[in-house]
């Protein structure tokens, strides 16, 4: 007689095979999930940029088509835009979490601050390619005629911006505490030493433009002696960069004697020539290059 028997479990070999398959699938899928989450954070950041870009455009229409200026006393570009932004959470980039809780001053009469922030905001204003020299939506830092011993940063008229669809209003930055997107300012708190360490899938920074649209731009990092953190961040497309930072690419940008920057970028260049000069004079970083070098990170 034949007796039927029921198999009540897996053999050891079968279990090991199943575990091996699960491990292989996990190794394949986990990086994909991580990339998907990073992409989602980048999209959220881009949405923030678009909304704040709209608030910027509303501001300039309400204030005689003049850009946000620097008034001192805790000024930040977003403190001036707060009546239009309303939701302070729009200021946080999902991929920037550095900086502990701090208080931001009110700026001027437009704001109802001071504001309590949980960490640094993620976006900076377009002051120009080399900060204090101006060239962007702000002029250079200069003595304030109404406050002896102090400085201020005048804004610009919308009419002075030659290519509104190509000029940043603001965007992703690591700058602090007065956030800007300048080439020598954007890497202020960035701890990375390669392009792979940049936010949004290795450097797809989000920017809003003066005309109100927003998009992601591929950027790269590097070393720049005497820049904030001795680092730089700028678009990879140099032709694009020659317009992105400049209200007028042909405006001559002298050195600022009130607030010198001490980088090796010469004064007297046209604004649009500054990114081109950096691209031509900063070679790919050799192995072991560090703080004090003038080079761009190789891929």
Place of tokens 């304030």: 144
Going from the C-alpha of 64 to that of each of 58, 61, 77, 155, the distances in angstroms are 11, 6, 17, 12
pLDDT in tens, 209-235: 999 899 999 999 999 999 999 999 999
Q: What contacts 24+ positions apart, CB below 8 Å, involve 191-200?
A: 192/221, 193/290, 193/297, 194/221, 194/297, 195/220, 195/221, 195/297, 195/299, 197/221, 198/233, 199/93, 199/95, 199/96, 199/172, 200/38, 200/41, 200/42, 200/45, 200/95, 200/172
Position 109 pLDDT exceeds 50: no
Crossing angle (nearest 10°) for helices 77-85 and 12-62: 90
Position 114 pLDDT exceeds 90: no
* 37 confidence band (pLDDT: 50, 70, 90): confident
pLDDT in tens, 165-194: 999 999 999 998 778 999 999 999 999 999
């Amino acid at each position: 007689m034949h007796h039927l028997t029921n198999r009540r479990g897996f053999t050891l070999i079968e279990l090991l095979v199943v575990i091996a398959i699960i491990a292989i699938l996990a190794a394949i899928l986990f990086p994909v999930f991580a990339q998907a989450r990073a992409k989602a954070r980048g999209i959220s950041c881009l949405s923030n940029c678009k909304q704040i870009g709209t608030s910027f455009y509303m501001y300039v229409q309400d204030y005689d088509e003049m850009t946000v200026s620097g008034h001192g006393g805790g000024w930040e570009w977003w403190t001036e835009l707060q009546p239009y932004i309303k939701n302070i959470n729009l200021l946080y980039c999902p991929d920037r979490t550095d900086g502990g809780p701090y208080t931001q001053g009110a700026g001027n009469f437009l704001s109802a601050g001071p504001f309590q922030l949980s960490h640094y905001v993620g976006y900076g204003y377009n002051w120009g390619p080399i900060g204090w020299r101006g060239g962007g939506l702000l002029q250079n830092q200069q003595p304030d005629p109404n406050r002896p011993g102090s400085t201020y940063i005048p804004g610009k008229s919308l009419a002075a911006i030659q290519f509104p669809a190509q000029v940043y209003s603001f965007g992703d930055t690591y700058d602090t505490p007065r956030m800007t997107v300048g080439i020598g300012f954007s890497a202020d708190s960035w701890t990375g030493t390669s392009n792979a360490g940049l936010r949004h899938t290795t450097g797809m920074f989000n920017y809003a433009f003066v005309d109100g649209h927003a998009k992601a731009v591929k950027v790269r990092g590097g070393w720049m002696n005497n820049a904030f953190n001795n680092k730089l961040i700028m678009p990879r497309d140099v032709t694009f960069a020659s317009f992105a930072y400049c209200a007028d690419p042909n405006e001559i940008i002298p050195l600022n004697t009130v607030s010198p920057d001490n980088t090796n970028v010469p004064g007297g260049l046209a604004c649009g020539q500054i990114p081109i000069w950096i691209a031509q004079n900063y070679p790919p970083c050799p192995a072991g290059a560090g703080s004090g070098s003038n080079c761009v990170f190789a891929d």
